[in-house]
Chains A and B, each alone.
Chain A
Amino acid sequence: MDLSLTDEQEFLREAARGALKRVDTVAAAREALEDETKRPDLWKTIVEAGWTGLLTSEDGGGAGLGLYDAMLVAQECGRVLAPVPLVSTLPAATVLDAAGDEASAAVASGELRVAWLPAAPPTDQEPRWTTDPKGGILRATLPTATVDGSTATLSGAVHWVLDAAQAEALLVTAEGPDGPIAVLVDASASGVTVEGLWRYDATRPLGHVTLDGAQGRVVAADELALRRAWHVAQGLLAAEAVGTVDALLPVAIAYAKERHTFGRAIGSYQALKHQLVEVLRLLENAKSLLIYAAWAHENAPDELSLATAAARSGAEHALDVATRVQISVHGGIGATWEHDAPLFFRRAQLQRRLLGGAGGATDRVAGELLGGVVPA
């Protein structure tokens, strides 16, 4: 039993921290709320750092690292609200890698910027593959594909796609003649419309993608690879959230020690102390769940759905509580743009509604447990 970081992992984490220091991403998150051109494009940073190929096998042109390694990077991004397209790129890279696709190396090296269109595998209650609806609570259907040789023709729409408008190619999960298939589409192909969006948290560019007879190339990935892409995305979002909470707690603690009311530091009042301990409790739980998710990714494929859903559910809950506690510990200033707290709150509010939502992850945990999956 050894869960401590290896030297290589420590190095990866330090390197990530260093790479992300070059730009004040938190300040940029505030500026971009008013002027979206102020959002730094960190694409170059992530390509230079080799993060696009983190999860791609060495044969597929990547670094062949594990999910925990990618999560270490994601945590660093979450700490500073860095607009780094990990959650959109890495799942796509894993699908291409699993298929031994010719585009794998170009995606791993960052030569080709690809965005993965989220597609959720069925659950015990939802027999179809689905995507997020534009609004409301009913899950939406996947785009459909007709296939002719290696060419697929797609129609349908996928909403709230991370980094869609910045990508050169889209990896679509579509309903094919015999079940879900992966299709790689050029973002500028005819029949593809990407409506770029900025919502609430300026560090997460989004897009609505419409496919109207758009043609792309079928990727020879099996359904398992498509499922794993979803689970990897859940794990990475969870890791970003853990990083964000990890960064918030020390700030709240420092303020709770320094701010005095009624002749005492506010951190001595139990009403605040106990809330901060609750944040610590949820954070530590979420960290434990990241370990489970990463372990299942490499060692227990049958538990991957449960493990990543639990990681996402736990991390999003921690993020929700932590960002709210951050505001209340800081009193009035915590609710204003004078402080960073609102930026973190915006991050939590938006991400809790993306990629199936925090509630969807919690529901999937229940489904897996009810279906008889026993966690390690």
Chain B
Amino acid sequence: MDLNDDPQQAEFRTQVRSWLNEHKAEAPIVMGEGQIEDEHERIEAWRGWQRKLADAGLCGVTWPEEYGGQGKGPIEQVIVNQELSRAQVPGPLDFIGLGMMGPAIIVHGTDEQKRRYLGPMLHGDEVCCQLFSEPAAGSDLAGVTTRAVEQEDGSFKISGQKVWTTNAQFSAFGVLLARTDADVPKHKGLTMFIVPMDAPGITVRGLRQISGEAEFNEVFLDEVHVPADTVLGQVGGGWSTALTVLMFERLSIGTSSIGYSAERFAAGVLSAPGAAEDPEVRQRLGHVGTEMIASRFAGHRLLSDLAGGKLPGPEFGLGKVTIVKSAIEAGDLLADVLGPDALDTGSEWGYIISFLPGLKSAGGTEEILRNTIGERVLGLPPEPRSDKGVPFSELKAREKEEVA
């Protein structure tokens, strides 16, 4: 049992750590207590931080060198994440682009697309958002109704509505899932596009979350005209591109250190007089702490698997369930011992308390994760479905009838 890095990884870690030691004073405070108040200022400061990280080789760790990446493996990415969290500095502004969209472009993009998008994405010059979810398609993502209609010259006109789009308010591009054919079963008629967010016909409207902040948005598309070379992957092959994105989403959620640790919550409990001696508080803290320590060591197990050449499967989602669940319980405990002040936006705990209930849904809801793991890991039979093999247009007509 060896928890240590091999010599090469150790050297990489030392490099990362010493760079962060030297530069961490330059990192902006982007969430929680002491965060930069003005949103625009905050984003620009964060963007500048991403640029520094990128110049130091701490962004796009796994991306090929020819597109500005470091050409390293997932272990090095995890090492960077661990060191960022250890230094208590933010990661890159564009975690969605770097974690999911860029990697999907590397897999499915043309050479021209890779040259065009990856470099600016890496340095924070162009942020990329994920235009997947819609008002009527979240868990059931293949049910998107945003239509992309092919024009005679091969270009497309896209109309519809996206929602919960994180970072859309300052994104340069969005990777968008649209329906190009409604007369085939729903997974078949989909196509993925890379859409410039300043194209005529796009309107972005902020949606306020529990915390009062608007980190995500609704995005309306009205006859947005995009050329043929914005198709990512194959026309009609959008579902396979989407699955790639979701795979990277899993990897990126599982390997990121959310930054909530048992010792941080323990320090919060200690700051409430009498709480540390209360048997019930101690039981709750002990359970939460146990789960958080378990996820830390689950992370070590993941690294060991990655080192052995194993890629993370769906069981990986369990890590997300544990992290989110334990942080929600810890936030609840802190509000109990500290009182209403803990709920304030300005408090150290306000952000966690308000943000985490939504995180339970983001990147696949807990119920969907449990379905997937139950079926793909435990091998339990799926539930019966009524949408298999049915043309999408027919399915929608049926749904309407049912509701009526």
Indicate whether B401 reaches chain A with its CB closer than 8 angstroms: no
Indicate if the CB atoms of B2 and A3 lie closer than 8 Å.
yes
Chain A residue, CB-CB nearest to B2: A2
User: In the docked arrangement, what's the CA distance between A277 and B314, Å?
Assistant: 12
Say which one of B101-109, B119-127, B315-323 lies at the interface with A.
Answer: B315-323
Contacts of A289 in B (CB 8 A): 290, 293-294, 297
Indicate whether B172 reaches chain A with its CB closer than 8 angstroms: no
Mask of A301-341 contacts with B, CB within 8 angstroms, 1/0: 00000110110011001000000000000000000000000
Q: Chain A at the B interface: mostly helix, strand, loop or mixed?
A: helix
CB contact list, A67-97 vs B, under 8 A: 68
Chain A residue, CB-CB nearest to B298: A288
User: In the docked arrangement, what's the CA distance between A93 and B360, Å?
Assistant: 47
Contacts of A264 in B (CB 8 A): 381, 384
Contacts of B382 in A (CB 8 A): 268
Indicate whether A21 reaches chain B with its CB closer than 8 angstroms: no
Chain A residue, CB-CB nearest to B326: A285
Q: A369: which of B263, B277, B295 is its contact (CB, 8 Å)?
A: B263
Chain B residue, CB-CB nearest to A306: B293
Indicate whether A291 reaches chain B with its CB closer than 8 angstroms: yes
Indicate if the CB atoms of B2 and A1 lie closer than 8 Å.
yes
User: In the docked arrangement, what's the CA distance between A287 and B279, Å?
Assistant: 27
User: In the docked arrangement, what's the CA distance between A291 and B374, Å?
Assistant: 25
Q: What is the distance, in angstroms, from B324's C-beta to the closest C-beta of chain A?
A: 12
User: In the docked arrangement, what's the CA distance between A294 and B5, Å?
Assistant: 18
A284 in contact with B298 given A317-B287, A363-B279, A365-B290 (CB within 8 Å)? yes
Indicate whether A37 reaches chain B with its CB closer than 8 angstroms: no
Indicate if the CB atoms of B293 and A2 lie closer than 8 Å.
no
User: In the docked arrangement, what's the CA distance between A208 and B23, Å?
Assistant: 62
Say which one of B60-68, B89-97, B302-310 lies at the interface with A.
Answer: B302-310
Contacts of B371 in A (CB 8 A): 270, 273-274
User: In the docked arrangement, what's the CA distance between A273 and B262, Å?
Assistant: 29
User: In the docked arrangement, what's the CA distance between A276 and B315, Å?
Assistant: 13
User: In the docked arrangement, what's the CA distance between A31 and B296, Å?
Assistant: 42
Q: B1: which of A281, A295, A317 is its contact (CB, 8 Å)?
A: A295
Indicate if the CB atoms of A4 and B304 lie closer than 8 Å.
yes
Q: What is the distance, in angstroms, from A34's C-beta to the closest C-beta of chain B?
A: 35
Contacts of A276 in B (CB 8 A): 374, 378, 380
Q: Which interface residue of A3, A256, A299, A306 has the most chain B CB atoms within 10 A?
A: A3
Q: A277: which of B265, B285, B301, B374 is its contact (CB, 8 Å)?
A: B374
Contacts of A280 in B (CB 8 A): 315, 318, 373, 377-378
Q: Chain B at the A interface: mostly helix, strand, loop or mixed?
A: helix
Chain A residue, CB-CB nearest to B296: A375
Q: What is the distance, in angstroms, from A7's C-beta to the closest C-beta of chain B?
A: 14
Indicate whether B157 reaches chain A with its CB closer than 8 angstroms: no
User: In the docked arrangement, what's the CA distance between A270 and B369, Å?
Assistant: 12
Indicate if the CB atoms of B1 and A267 lie closer than 8 Å.
no
Q: B367: which of A269, A270, A370 is its contact (CB, 8 Å)?
A: A270
Indicate whether B300 reaches chain A with its CB closer than 8 angstroms: yes
User: In the docked arrangement, what's the CA distance between A151 and B344, Å?
Assistant: 63
Q: B321: which of A281, A287, A306, A359 is its contact (CB, 8 Å)?
A: A281
A274 in contact with B381 given A289-B293, A374-B263 (CB within 8 Å)? no
CB contact list, B345-404 vs A, under 8 A: 367, 370-371, 373-375, 377-384
User: In the docked arrangement, what's the CA distance between A294 and B300, Å?
Assistant: 14
User: In the docked arrangement, what's the CA distance between A335 and B289, Å?
Assistant: 33
Mask of B266-292 contacts with A, CB within 8 angstroms, 1/0: 100110000011010111011101110
Indicate whether B3 reaches chain A with its CB closer than 8 angstroms: yes
Indicate if the CB atoms of B297 and A313 lie closer than 8 Å.
no
Q: What is the distance, in angstroms, from B260's C-beta to the closest C-beta of chain A?
A: 13
Indicate if the CB atoms of B297 and A366 lie closer than 8 Å.
no
Q: B266: which of A292, A314, A369 is its contact (CB, 8 Å)?
A: A369
A375 in contact with B262 given A286-B294, A363-B283, A366-B289 (CB within 8 Å)? yes
A66 in contact with B1 given A4-B304, A310-B293, A369-B263 (CB within 8 Å)? yes
Q: Which interface residue of B281, B294, B380 has the most chain A CB atoms within 10 A?
A: B294
Q: What is the distance, in angstroms, from A274's C-beta to the closest C-beta of chain B?
A: 4
Indicate whether A199 reaches chain B with its CB closer than 8 angstroms: no
Q: What is the distance, in angstroms, from B304's C-beta to the closest C-beta of chain A?
A: 4
Chain B residue, CB-CB nearest to A264: B384
Indicate whether A349 reaches chain B with its CB closer than 8 angstroms: no
Indicate whether A376 reaches chain B with its CB closer than 8 angstroms: yes
A1 in contact with B378 given A284-B315, A362-B283, A366-B285 (CB within 8 Å)? no
Mask of B252-265 contacts with A, CB within 8 angstroms, 1/0: 00000000001101
User: In the docked arrangement, what's the CA distance between A127 and B289, Å?
Assistant: 22
Indicate if the CB atoms of B263 and A1 lie closer than 8 Å.
no
User: In the docked arrangement, what's the CA distance between A285 and B296, Å?
Assistant: 10
Indicate if the CB atoms of A3 and B1 lie closer than 8 Å.
yes
Contacts of A286 in B (CB 8 A): 294
Indicate if the CB atoms of A291 and B293 lie closer than 8 Å.
no
Chain A residue, CB-CB nearest to B383: A268
Indicate whether B88 reaches chain A with its CB closer than 8 angstroms: no
Indicate if the CB atoms of B1 and A366 lie closer than 8 Å.
no
Contacts of A352 in B (CB 8 A): none
Contacts of B75 in A (CB 8 A): 1
User: In the docked arrangement, what's the CA distance between A372 and B261, Å?
Assistant: 12
Indicate whether A61 reaches chain B with its CB closer than 8 angstroms: no
Q: What is the distance, in angstroms, from B257's C-beta to the closest C-beta of chain A?
A: 13
Chain B residue, CB-CB nearest to A274: B370
Contacts of B318 in A (CB 8 A): 277, 280-281, 284
Indicate whether B9 reaches chain A with its CB closer than 8 angstroms: yes
List 18 contacting pairs A-B, 8 Å CB cutoff, sorted by A.
A1-B4, A1-B307, A2-B2, A3-B300, A268-B381, A276-B374, A281-B322, A288-B295, A288-B296, A289-B297, A294-B1, A306-B293, A313-B290, A317-B290, A363-B282, A366-B281, A369-B262, A375-B296
Q: Which residues of A contact B (CB under 8 A)?
A: 1-4, 66, 68, 124-125, 249, 253, 256-257, 264-265, 267-270, 273-274, 276-278, 280-281, 284-289, 291-292, 294-295, 298-299, 306-307, 309-310, 313-314, 317, 359, 361-367, 369-370, 372-376
Q: Which residues of B contact A (CB under 8 A)?
A: 1-6, 9, 75, 262-263, 265-266, 269-270, 276-277, 279, 281-283, 285-287, 289-291, 293-298, 300-301, 303-304, 307-308, 315, 318, 321-322, 367, 370-371, 373-375, 377-384
Extra contacts, 18 of them, besides A3-B2, A369-B286 (Cβ < 8 A), are A1-B3, A1-B307, A3-B1, A3-B300, A3-B301, A253-B380, A267-B380, A270-B370, A270-B371, A277-B370, A281-B322, A284-B315, A285-B294, A288-B298, A289-B294, A289-B297, A370-B285, A375-B263
